[in-house]
Structure formats: structure tokens, C-alpha cells
Amino acid sequence: MLDYFALGLLIFVGLVLFYGIIVLHDIPYEIAVHRNHPHQDAIHATGWVSLFTLHALWPFLWIWAMLYREDRGWGFGDGKSPQSHVLRLEQQVVELQQRIDRLEGTSATVDAGEGI
């Protein structure tokens, strides 16, 4: 009876390890899906290849999946969208134009005052 229990436990542990390794290798793919990565399928396929290459590719898959974010792409920006940068630049242009108008108005009155 104890022999059957030990055999069942051995089979159970083997199955848990087998499926655990498969789940572990799908983590980069799940990250890629969550981040809407453009190379999701390639990351998933390379994860399976990594199972047969003694897991040598798996750390690189993790990095590859983590590099992309939908809001900032491949860059390492401040996390703000390009639209906010455009709006900020437009505000700066408006402020500069107002300053130029004020300076031109000031110089026009000074020029008019000197001519009198």
C-alpha cells in the first residue's frame, strides 16, 4: 500500500514540476500580452524554444517583453504622451509671442517718445 502511495506522490510531483516549468516559461509572453507588445507571437515561440535550449534564452525574453510599453513605446521617456509635449510647446510658443508683442509695444512707445 505504501509503495502505491509513493508512486502516486512521485507522479504528482513530476506533473507539478512539468507544468510549473511550462507556466514559468510563459511569464514573458503574459507580460507581452499585458503590455500589448508588437512581438507577442515571437516571444511566445521563443519561450517554447527556450525549453529545449536549457532555458538560456529565458532571461532575454523577460527583458524583451519588459522593454516595450504601449504608452511610451520602446523609449525610456518620462511616461508622458507625445501629445502633452506638443501642448506644452504650443503654450511656450504662445507665451513667447506675448512677450514679443509686449516688447515690441514697449519699443514702439519709446521710439515714438524719442522722436518728439
| Residue-wise pLDDT tens digits, 62-89 | 999 999 988 778 876 655 566 677 778 8
Confidence of residue 110 (pLDDT cuts 50, 70, 90): low
Largest CA distance in the chain: 118
- Identify residue 30 by its one-letter amino acid code: E
* Spatial contact of 40 and 64, defined as CB atoms under 8 Å apart: no
Q: Which three cell numbers stand for residue 60?
A: 532575454
How much is the pLDDT for 115? 54
Instruction: Give the mean model confidence (pLDDT) for residues 96-101.
Output: 93
| Residue-wise pLDDT tens digits, 31-40 | 999 999 999 9
* Model confidence at 116: pLDDT above 60: no
Sign of CA dihedral 29, 31, 37, 66: negative
- Angle between helix axes 2-25 and 27-34 (nearest 10 degrees) is 40
* SS3 label, residue 69: strand
Q: Read off the pTM.
A: 0.60
